[in-house]
Amino acid sequence: MPAGQRHAVRRLIESAGDGTPDWLLLRRFLAGRDEEAFAALVRRHGPMVLAVCRRVLRHAQDAEDAFQATFLVLARKAGSLAQPERLAGWLHGVAVRASREVVANRPNKEKQVAAQAEPTTEPTEPDDLRAVLDDELARLPEKLRLAVVLCDLEGRTLRDAAEDLGVPVGTLSNRLAAGRRTLAERLARRGHGLPLSALLSPGAGSALPASLVTSTTAAAMQIAAGGAATAVSATVAAVTEGVLRAMLLNKLTLVTGAVLALLLLGGSLLATFAATPPAPPPAGADGAVPITRPADDPGPQPPPAGGFDVGRGESMESVAVSPDGKLLAGGGQDHRVHLWDLTAGKHRRVLGEFGGIVRRVVFSPDGKRLVAGSDGPALRVWNLTGDDFKGQDFKLEWADRKDVSGSVSDLAFLPDGTLAVAFRFQLERDHHAAETSWIVLLDLATGKHTVLAEKLPAISDIAVSPDGKLLAAPAFRSFRVWDVAQKQLVWEQETDRDTFASRLAFSPDGKRLVGGGGNTDTDRVGGRLWMYDVATHKKLWMTQDDKTGAFNAVAVTPDGRGVLTGSSGRIVRFSPPGGGRGSKVLSELRRYDAANGELLWQADGELGGFGAVAPSPDGKVLATCDHEAVLLFDAATGRRMNLLAKPKAE
């Protein structure tokens, strides 16, 4: 694309964000602190957010305060959004919470007169209906609420909204009709009979002042840079703190009463919480010990009183165990690579910091090198033979192109020390972003690379056979296998009709290939796991569980007898203190029999899903990562052995 045309496309994206999906704007904001990407999100979703705040608060300045707090929460939590395509529904919920926080922060006298001061320009509705409309909308099932928010509150067409969500138009139409019907019934039960169409006009009366967009974006960039949001008022900062604290409390409510009590006393966004350690949790019926939220103690014993970091991007994305079993590396949304001493159970050091999320870490076969890849994309290699652990950045040919953004999606070593790298990136072309993947083979000694495969569908994982002759990668509705020496595709296997592939792993003898993924029906969750014979391409077995989420991680035990998986699991609903309803998704760690796919044990965790599984070389210990820490399990029984917490951010 000529430079002039590329700049024109860039200006169009900056002006409104049209044609660029939410997930890509979020990725640009996270990877490069892209101010225009965040401003585009504010302009796109701001009218809906401001309308919500005005309906709840009925006070112009308070509504703008809640509006700004909503997007500052987004600036803080953008890296932990599991489904960015559902951003509109997430923002609606945060806007309701922020509005309630504004009310809670008002002095008593102001609460009594707020409704009469500075009335908004919203259409006239009964006052009590204003107070319950968004509450009832927030209580709808997520898929129904998202349909109503996108089509009725934001004015999106069915076709556009369905395309962004990746669902058929008919499916979204059914959800929208069900959402409207359920919302009308619930409002009617509360005595409100106004037509729903009169209440859900998109962004009514909520044109965004340019100054509000500018100041909100400026404050978000201050937060992204690690500073305080001085571009907003103290009231907005306090409301933002309150919302973040409430969101954290919802996640931690079921963990321990001691931690909850201390969280209620917290007053800072980066607060450190001290706690007396709770008694060890009881083992479940299957012998697995439920995972508790980690405190910030790196030792092998249950953590003493201490804190944990609730700062920027805490979630861990990847872990790897060194070939000698003495070191463990991890990286994730704090943009750092951490190294632990497994023998002592202590955090050894932070090796380096990237400009984006660290997606993969991997040790070389001889254990002398550690490699990490991140968003950007960026690639760094450390020499582990000395005491200084020197790092070397590898220049990537796409890194300086303004029309490219992407990431290193996976890394894998061949036995001879060659590094296979999967790049996943987006090319801006004529108002749209096209996603593609390449797989290259990198010689770390010379820095030269050769292309194994290019212009592939989005690749999230690669697996190399133990002899280094084959490389496999999932491609959503299929998986592909290449002959590395010949650089030729030798096997392409379609998945079952309702199954997508996301993770692959070879058995230690290289004779079998295990795959994990989920159900392609977006109306249902469901994990899928299968095993193929590499020589005959015959499927040996397949297992599925529609009560768990798709498998985020798959590994085969060193003895070849077990298959280890990590996923997001079942949804648990609860009633938090103070009323209302809450829910969270438990992580699930499983071991299956590699011979027949039979489930041998399952261990539940907290907060999201296990993003990686890494067995130790002797097969006795299983390392995995959840929201904030690396966790160690007994690979034979599923009992939790220890946690390895990151140090608090300075």
What domains can be seen in the chain, in order of their start residue?
1-123+207-267 (no CATH), 124-200 (1.10.10.10), 495-615 (2.130.10.10)
| Closest to 352 in 3D by CA, of 316, 380, 314 | 380
- Neighbouring C-beta atoms of residue 624, cutoff 10 Å: 28
Range 215-225 average pLDDT? 86
pLDDT of residue 99: 87
Each residue's pLDDT tens digit, 524-553: 457 899 999 999 999 999 998 877 778 889
Report the range of poorest mean pLDDT among 12-16, 17-21, 121-125.
Answer: 12-16
Reading the block at residue 650, the tokens are 């300075």
Each residue's pLDDT tens digit, 265-289: 333 322 322 333 333 333 333 333 2
Cis preceding linkage at 377, omega within 30: yes
Range 569-591 average pLDDT? 62
Residue 623 has pLDDT above 50, yes or no: yes
Give whole-number Cα distances, 545 to 81, 155, 498, 515, in Å.
24, 37, 13, 14
pLDDT of residue 488: 96
3-class secondary-structure state, position 77: helix
Decide which of 390 and 480 is more confident.
Answer: 480
Each residue's pLDDT tens digit, 363-384: 999 999 999 998 877 899 999 9
To which residue do tokens 């300086």 refer? 400
488 strand-pairing partners:
483
Is the separation of the CB atoms in 438 and 398 below 8 Å?
no
Each residue's pLDDT tens digit, 442-462: 999 888 889 999 888 778 899
pLDDT of residue 606: 56
Range 156-177 average pLDDT? 82
Q: Which amino acid is at 294?
A: P
Residue 568 has pLDDT above 80, yes or no: no
Range 589-597 average pLDDT? 95
pLDDT of residue 531: 97
Over the chain, what is the mean pLDDT? 75
Q: What's the rounded Cα separation, in Å, for the pair 304 and 298?
A: 10
Residue 534: left if φ>0, alpha if ψ -120 to 50, beta else—which one?
Answer: alpha
Q: How far is CA 603 from the centre of its chain?
A: 21
Interhelix angle 22-32/87-105, rounded to 10 degrees, is: 70
The DSSP annotation for 132-190 comes to HHHHHHHTS-HHHHHHHIIIIIS---HHHHHHHHTS-HHHHHHHHHHHHHHHHHHHHHT
Reading the block at residue 529, the tokens are 């796991």
pLDDT of residue 269: 26
Pairing verdict, β 378-383 and 391-394: antiparallel
Report the range of poorest mean pLDDT among 33-42, 46-55, 130-139, 397-406.
Answer: 397-406
Decide which of 176 and 398 is more confident.
Answer: 176
Is the separation of the CB atoms in 569 and 609 below 8 Å?
yes
Q: What's the rounded Cα separation, in Å, for the pair 436 and 180?
A: 38
Q: What's the pLDDT band for 626 if we cut at 50, 70, 90?
A: low
Residue 615 has pLDDT above 90, yes or no: yes
Give whole-number Cα distances, 446 to 39, 368, 372, 419, in Å.
42, 17, 18, 12
List % helix, strand, coil for the chain (3-state, nearest 5).
30, 30, 40
Instruction: Please state, for a pLDDT cut of 90, what percent of the chain lies above it.
Output: 28
Alpha helices, DSSP H only, in 204-351? 210-224, 234-252, 257-263
Q: How far is CA 107 from the centre of its chain?
A: 37
Q: What's the rounded Cα separation, in Å, for the pair 566 and 611?
A: 6
Range 46-55 average pLDDT? 88
| Closest to 27 in 3D by CA, of 566, 424, 455 | 424
Residue 37 has pLDDT above 60, yes or no: yes
Range 621-638 average pLDDT? 82
Q: What's the rounded Cα separation, in Å, for the pair 198 and 584?
A: 34
Give whole-number Cα distances, 376 to 83, 289, 404, 505, 561, in Å.
20, 38, 9, 26, 38
Is the separation of the CB atoms in 548 and 526 below 8 Å?
yes
| Closest to 427 in 3D by CA, of 417, 437, 441, 413 | 437
pLDDT of residue 595: 96
pLDDT of residue 7: 39
Q: What's the rounded Cα separation, in Å, for the pair 592 and 541?
A: 12
User: Which of the residue ranges 116-120, 173-177, 625-629, 642-646 has the most confident prediction, judged by mean pLDDT?
Assistant: 173-177
| Closest to 550 in 3D by CA, of 590, 578, 601 | 590
3-class secondary-structure state, position 488: strand
Q: What's the pLDDT band for 512 if we cut at 50, 70, 90?
A: very high
Q: What's the rounded Cα separation, in Å, for the pair 637 and 279?
A: 21
Sign of the dihedral through C-alpha 396, 438, 517, 159: positive
Reading the block at residue 641, the tokens are 């052995």
pLDDT of residue 122: 42
Instruction: Please state, for a pLDDT cut of 70, what percent of the chain lies above it.
Output: 70
pLDDT of residue 197: 56
Each residue's pLDDT tens digit, 424-437: 776 555 444 456 78
Interhelix angle 35-57/87-105, rounded to 10 degrees, is: 50
Q: What's the rounded Cα separation, in Å, for the pair 170 and 578?
A: 39
Is the separation of the CB atoms in 615 and 632 below 8 Å?
no
pLDDT of residue 477: 85
Is the separation of the CB atoms in 603 and 587 below 8 Å?
no
Residue 15 has pLDDT above 70, yes or no: no
Q: What's the pLDDT band for 126 if we cut at 50, 70, 90?
A: very low
pLDDT of residue 103: 83
pLDDT of residue 650: 41
| Closest to 187 in 3D by CA, of 228, 226, 131 | 131
Q: How far is CA 345 from the centre of its chain?
A: 27
Q: What's the rounded Cα separation, in Å, for the pair 46 and 36?
A: 14
pLDDT of residue 51: 87
First to last CA, the chain: 43
| Closest to 612 in 3D by CA, of 597, 626, 600, 595 | 626
User: Which of the residue ranges 206-220, 237-251, 290-304 has the most confident prediction, judged by mean pLDDT?
Assistant: 206-220
| Closest to 206 in 3D by CA, of 158, 159, 155, 243 | 155
User: Which of the residue ranges 23-27, 184-188, 485-489 has the most confident prediction, judged by mean pLDDT?
Assistant: 485-489
Is the separation of the CB atoms in 415 and 441 below 8 Å?
no
Range 90-116 average pLDDT? 72
Output the CA angle 99-101-102, nearest 5 degrees.
65
| CB neighbour list of residue 141: distance below 8 Å, 6 or more residues apart | none
Query: Largest alpha-carbon pair distance within the chain?
Result: 78
Element (H, E) at 523: none
pLDDT of residue 533: 98
Decide which of 246 and 12 is more confident.
Answer: 246
Each residue's pLDDT tens digit, 54-83: 888 888 888 899 999 999 999 888 887 877
Q: What's the rounded Cα separation, in Å, for the pair 500 and 171?
A: 19
Decide which of 36 and 377 is more confident.
Answer: 36
